[in-house]
A = this chain, B = another copy of it.
Amino acid sequence: MSDFPNNLLQNPSGFPEFLPKESIAEQELNDLIRKHFELSGFTQINTPLVERTEVLTAKSEGEINTQMYGLRLMNPSADSPTDAKDLVLRFDHTVPLARYIALRNRELTFPFKRYTIGPVFRGEKPKEGRYRQFNQADIDIIGDSKLDTVNDAECVSIVVNIFKELNIGQFVIRIGNRKLLQSLTRGLGVEEKETKAVLQIIDKAEKVGVDKTIEDLKKIEGIKLDKINDFNSILFEEKEFIELEQNLLSFSNDEKIHQGISEVKSLISGLLSLGVSPTNFKVDLSIARGLDYYTGNVFETMLVEYPELGSIASGGRYDNLAGSFTNKDYPGVGISIGTTRLLTKLIKVGLIKAEKSTTCPVIITTQLPLEEFSSVYLKQAKILREAGIKTEVYLTDRSLIKELEYANKKGFKIAIITGEQELKENMVIVKDLTTGNQEKIDSSEIANKVKQMLSL
């Protein structure tokens, strides 16, 4: 008798697991993402889930530091390794990539285009829609010493193509630029050390509104009060880029402004060349994203009808990815889709339907007792599988009614039925489970018939 406490059977809080329907939806999402990553020439490189503490702490900032999971051996023996205390679970894909590049650059070919889809870990308090283990799908293009801004367009366009094919409604990539923001805050009269405070106020603007934002900005030391309105207009008012460019140049005509404008222009022109519709992106200089990391264009992706979901794909340009680890320059651009969070959000609002319990279209039912007749059904399976058709055999003795119930519940499209009579005649019944229609055919025709029904 088991007396295992029922509450302990639950998967640990924040470590999600899915039933077959959600699991299949997740797999389809990951496959679609992977297809687009590979279509643009990215290679899958997975780093370990475990890194040295020194590596991750060299690059972690803010709350991440309190969320890092370390390892320990539960019951060390004389044979146990002693370094468990120096090991931690990764909290993103970018820091491990930086280490990988710093370590292996001589064995790699640059520009280096890699993707990965896999779990990262953060020891957060469990909250709705927050996870402690969640998958992220990342692409990065890393250059050796230099990397043209047009690479930013490659990354953004891939994400656009993914969301278009996902068919989840209207979405917009919001494009900001860190050089422009830096120049603008400098133009505001704000000292370097206060830049962070300004960016935090901007980050909150969408939530608190323009009036409160102006009020908060006025409290910053040294801020030029007469420029706050122009600053807000640049950041928060919708306008064509050509008008925005004029506003920018008249606000702060320094080198950074020119660099930033050129980066944004190069990104936009790249996107248009790659066939991205202007409805799918807009320049929004209020997009900041973590200050210490990005150095050029930055991106966020919003679902127009579901702004409450937040950004579903984010990234940007960093001048020196491997900075803490090596003296060589590796400029890069990357973008990351939080697939676990995205999937659960999209299922929740109904933009992804998790309806299929199997990816397999065909089931061979087994009407005759398996002990004597299993070979009949296994041979049918062999023929269909060899023809490349995914096929399940129902290898338990049940009534045909029960087996067809199972088939309908799981969502098979076609059932193959062979009873005593069919066996005698060397025939099989092929039943279309969607329409309920069925047809008796010669058993040698089984693969052709099923292929035709599945339009293969």
Q: How far is the CA of A27 from the CA of B34 in the complex (A)?
A: 12
Q: Are A74 and B69 in contact (CB under 8 A)?
A: yes
Q: Which of B46, B66, B87, B148 contacts A77 (CB 8 A)?
A: B66
Q: Is A83 among interface residues, defined by CB-CB distance under 8 A?
A: yes
- Given A49-B49, A75-B65 in contact, is the A397-B148 Cβ separation under 8 Å? yes
Q: How far is the CA of A109 from the CA of B146 in the complex (A)?
A: 55
Chain B residues, CB < 8 A from A410: 109
**Distance between Cα atoms of A58 and B111 in the complex (Å):** 49
CB distance from A89 to the nearest CB of B (A): 7
Residues of B within 8 A of A395 (CB): 111, 141, 147-148, 150-151, 154
| Nearest CB in chain B: distance from A41 CB, A | 3
Q: Does A448 contact B (CB under 8 A)?
A: no
How many of chain A's residues have a CB under 8 angstroms from any CB in B? 129
A434 within 8 A of B: no
Contacts of A381 in B (CB 8 A): 40, 274
Q: Distance in Å from the Cβ of A27 to the closest Cβ of chain B? A: 5
How many copies of this chain sit in the oligomeric assembly?
Answer: 2
Asked if residues A324 and B2 are in contact (CB atoms below 8 Å), the reply is yes
Stretch in contact with the other chain, from A16-24, A182-190, A228-236, A307-315: A16-24
A374 within 8 A of B: yes
Per-residue contact bits, chain A 1-45, to B (CB 8 Å; 1 contact, 0 not): 110110011111111111110011001000000000011110111
Q: How far is the CA of A104 from the CA of B386 in the complex (A)?
A: 33
A65–B79 Cα distance when bound, in Å, is 12
Per a CB cutoff under 8 Å, which of B12, B70, B125, B154 touches A80? B125
Residues of chain B with a CB closer than 8 A to A273's CB? 374-375, 378-379, 382
Interchain CA distance A203-B304 in the complex, whole Å: 64
The answer, yes or no, to whether A427 is at the interface (CB within 8 Å) is no
Scan A75-98; emit 1 where CB is below 8 A from any B CB, else 0: 111011101101111000000000
Structural contact, A9 and B357, CB atoms closer than 8 A: no
Residues in chain B near residue A68, CB distance under 8 A: 73-75
Are B325 and A396 interface neighbours, CB within 8 A?
no
Assess whether B55 is in contact with A8, with CB atoms less than 8 Å apart.
yes
Is A72 interfacial (CB-CB < 8 Å)?
yes
Whether B326 pairs with A73 at a CB distance below 8 angstroms is no
CA distance A450 to B87 in the complex (A): 48
Whether A70 and B81, one on each chain, are in contact in the complex, defined by CB atoms closer than 8 angstroms, is no
Query: Which of B69, B79, B113 contacts A72 (CB under 8 A)?
Result: B69
* B360, A38: Cβ atoms closer than 8 Å: yes
Contact B374 A8 (CB under 8 A): no
Q: Is the CB of A41 within 8 A of B391?
A: yes
Inter-chain CA distance A258–B212, complex, in Å, is 83
- CB pair A15–B48 under 8 Å, yes or no, is yes
Of the residues B10, B38, B125, contact of A79 by C-beta under 8 Å:
B125
Convert A412-441 into 0s and 1s, putting 1 for each residue whose CB lies closer than 8 angstroms to a CB of B.
Answer: 000000000000000000000000000000
In contact, A71 and B74 (Cβ under 8 angstroms)? no
Q: Is the CB of B66 within 8 A of A89?
A: no
Q: A22 to chain B: closest CB distance in Å?
A: 10
Q: Contacts A71-B89, A73-B123 known; A9 to B102 CB distance under 8 Å? A: yes
Chain B positions within 8 Å of A87 at CB level? 12
B327 engages A123 (CB within 8 Å): no
A336 to chain B, nearest CB (A): 19
Q: What's the nearest-Cβ distance from chain B to residue A277, in Å?
A: 12
A151: chain B residues at CB < 8 Å are 395
> Does residue A296 face the partner (Cβ distance < 8 Å to B)?
no
Say whether A378 contacts B119, CB under 8 Å.
no
Q: Which of A85-133 contact B (CB under 8 A)?
A: 86-89, 99-100, 102-104, 107-109, 111, 113-114, 119, 121, 123-126, 132-133
Nearest CB on B from A171, distance (A): 19
With the chains together, A266 CA to B67 CA distance in Å?
A: 53
Q: Known contacts A16-B48, A19-B107; can you find 4 more A-B pairs with CB under 8 A? A: A15-B50, A17-B45, A71-B123, A273-B378
Which A-B residue pairs are the 5 nearest by beta carbons?
A41-B392, A15-B48, A273-B375, A273-B378, A66-B77
Q: Can you give 14 contacting A-B residue pairs, CB < 8 Å?
A: A12-B50, A16-B48, A38-B359, A40-B381, A41-B360, A49-B133, A67-B73, A69-B73, A70-B74, A80-B125, A81-B123, A109-B410, A146-B396, A148-B397
